[in-house]
């Protein structure tokens, strides 16, 4: 059985994937509102790989020569800048930039794999080098930048190939910290490792089998939800303090 996905112009499953990824991201960030809820870290491990999968699905259905992917890149770059201040207000002294720069580099790497022109290949290589040099400043680090490409590579391959992005996802999620916590018997860490490994497969299953659903279309305005959700959660934290 293969994961060939003939995505439609408006794919309900893809919109559903994005909404669920957004929900998991918000659940993850609720850990910083003020209540002890470490278990929310587990559904939070789904958010980033599903955003990467949505990116890969968009790349897979769009011809390389179209300008839509450059507009996509432009919106990501814009909201990378717009989101940084709300991100730092909500998470004082964070170790990394917000997640958008990781997605920007990931998009360019995956696009460079698709587009065999010399310019795009060189740009992709430059992004890989940047990811390696500044891994500590990127949310999900070097492997987070590679995750969209890993998703793209397995989209039309047998289900067993979904283990590849699962391993990349795990590597992007502070594997050493999770492994140490697992050795101490931490059940949240155990569940998080399992979630990282199966999240790409679950997302691909959803894209294949939920095509008849019709959630609200997630269009360009949805980029604003990323910085806005930080400000909303910050307001909630201040209200309950």
221 CB-contact burial (10 Å; exposed 0-12 / middle 13-18 / buried 19+): exposed
Output the pLDDT for position 64: 60
Res 63: pLDDT: 62
Average pLDDT rounded to a whole number, residues 185-190: 94
pLDDT band at 9 (very low <50, low <70, confident <90, very high): low
Task: Supply the pLDDT for residue 1.
Answer: 43
Q: What is the pLDDT of residue 170?
A: 96
Q: Are 132 and 142 in contact (CB under 8 A)?
A: yes
Least reliable range by pLDDT among 7-11, 37-41, 89-93, 117-121: 7-11
- The pLDDT of residue 175 is 80
Cα–Cα distance list, 119 to 57, 131, 173, 180 (Å) = 23, 18, 31, 42
Report the Cα–Cα distance between both ends of the chain, in Å, rounded. Answer: 52
Whether the full predicted model's pTM is greater than 0.85, yes or no, is: yes
Q: What is the pLDDT of residue 34?
A: 83
C-alpha span between 168 and 138 (Å, rounded): 15
CA distance 106 to 212: 29
Q: Are 41 and 93 in contact (CB under 8 A)?
A: no
What pLDDT is stored for residue 65 in this prediction?
A: 56
* Mean pLDDT value across residues 228-235: 97
139's CB contacts (< 8 A; 6+ apart) are 96, 97, 98, 99, 101, 102
Q: Is it the case that residue 7 has pLDDT exceeding 70?
A: no
**Band of residue 156 on the pLDDT scale cut at 50, 70, 90:** confident
Cα 182 → chain centroid:
24
């Amino acid at each position: 059985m293969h994961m060939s996905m003939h995505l439609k112009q408006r794919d309900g499953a893809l919109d559903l994937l994005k909404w669920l990824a957004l929900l998991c991201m918000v659940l993850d960030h609720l850990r910083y509102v003020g209540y002890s809820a470490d278990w929310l870290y587990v559904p939070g491990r789904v958010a980033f790989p599903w955003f990467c999968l949505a990116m890969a699905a968009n790349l897979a259905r769009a011809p390389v020569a179209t300008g839509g992917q450059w507009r996509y890149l432009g919106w990501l770059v814009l909201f990378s800048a717009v989101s940084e201040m709300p991100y730092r207000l909500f998470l004082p002294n964070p170790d990394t930039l917000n997640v958008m720069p990781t997605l920007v580099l990931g998009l360019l790497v995956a696009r460079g794999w698709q587009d065999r022109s010399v310019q795009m290949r060189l740009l992709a290589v430059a992004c890989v080098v940047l990811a390696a040099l500044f891994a500590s400043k990127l949310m999900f680090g070097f492997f987070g930048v590679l995750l969209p490409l890993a998703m793209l590579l397995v989209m039309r391959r047998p289900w067993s190939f979904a283990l590849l992005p699962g391993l990349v996802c795990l590597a992007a999620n502070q594997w050493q910290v999770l492994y140490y916590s697992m050795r101490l018997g931490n059940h949240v860490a155990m569940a998080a490792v399992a979630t990282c490994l199966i999240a790409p497969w679950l997302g691909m299953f959803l894209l294949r089998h939920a095509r008849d659903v019709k959630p609200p279309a997630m269009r360009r305005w949805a980029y604003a939800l990323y910085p806005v959700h930080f400000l909303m959660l910050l307001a909630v934290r201040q209200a309950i303090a």
